[in-house]
Amino acid sequence: MTYNLTKNKKKERVFMPTISARSPKTKVTVTLSHDLVRKLDELLEAPEASSRSQLIEEALRRWLYDQAKEDLERQTEEYYHSLPEAERKEDRQWSKVAAHSAKHLWDK
């Protein structure tokens, strides 16, 4: 089942487990726009959705995961850009060899 949570992205909804079933929770209060609350309530119609809190926690966990992933990708890119040209050239050559080998394996 997919939900259009933003105007330009459709993502399959995956419930991410909390650290443990009995992890302590902290109650917070947030103010949201009416349209966002309406969308949140529409998502509550799914049988696996139990509460607004659960949906918001899931969305926040996913956002934090995405941010960490983007940060790791950025750091990896910065690392490769910091390499001397000779090392980058060697990496490109190894990539070509690996791609060529993979193509032969997949074509079998």
Report CA torsion sign: 23, 70, 103, 81: negative
> Average model confidence (pLDDT) for the chain?
84
pTM score, two decimals?
0.60
State how far the Cα of 15 lies from the Cα of 62, in Å rounded to an integer: 9
Count the Cβ atoms, other than its own, within 10 Å of residue 62.
Answer: 16
Find all residues with CB under 8 Å of 57, minimum gap 6, and list them.
18
- pLDDT digit string (tens) for 30-72? 999 999 999 999 999 988 888 999 999 999 999 999 999 999 9
pLDDT at 16 over 80: no
State how far the Cα of 61 lies from the Cα of 67, in Å rounded to an integer: 10
More confident residue, 39 or 21: 39
State how far the Cα of 9 lies from the Cα of 12, in Å rounded to an integer: 10
Strand partners, 34: none
Domain ranges of the chain: 32-106
